[in-house]
Amino acid sequence: MKTIIISIAIGLSAISFNKKNQESTGKEIFEKNCAKCHGKDGTKRLLGAKNLQKSVLTTTENYEIITNGKGKMPSWKEKLSTEQINQVIEYLAVLKQKTKE
């Protein structure tokens, strides 16, 4: 029984670490590629960039815009992998939480 509990605890720790690692990676990708227009906290509005902390876009809408571009925002499909785009989208959820704090 102890072995099962320890295995579950290790598994949950790995999931928690992986989620934190993905958020960190999403943040790094965002800061490298998106912060120039959106700012590190998502509120800068250079060249018409949207305030991402106040965004009401769905995950699907974010994916489409990041992948294909919209208005002055360029497409990122040639520069970022699908996994990287998804990591950025996960980080956008973290930025939205900042408005609730």
- Indicate which CATH number applies to the domain containing 43: 1.10.760.10
Domain contains 3? no
* pLDDT, tens only, 39-82: 999 999 888 899 999 999 999 999 999 999 999 999 999 999 99
Q: In the prediction, which pLDDT does 100 show?
A: 62
Residue 81: give the domain boundaries. 25-98
User: What's the structural domain count of the chain?
Assistant: 1
Over 60: is that where the pLDDT of 22 sits?
no
Output the pTM of the full model: 0.73
Give the separation between CA 11 and CA 6, rounded to whole angstroms. Answer: 9
Domain contains 2? no
Q: In the prediction, which pLDDT does 21 show?
A: 58
Domain contains 9? no
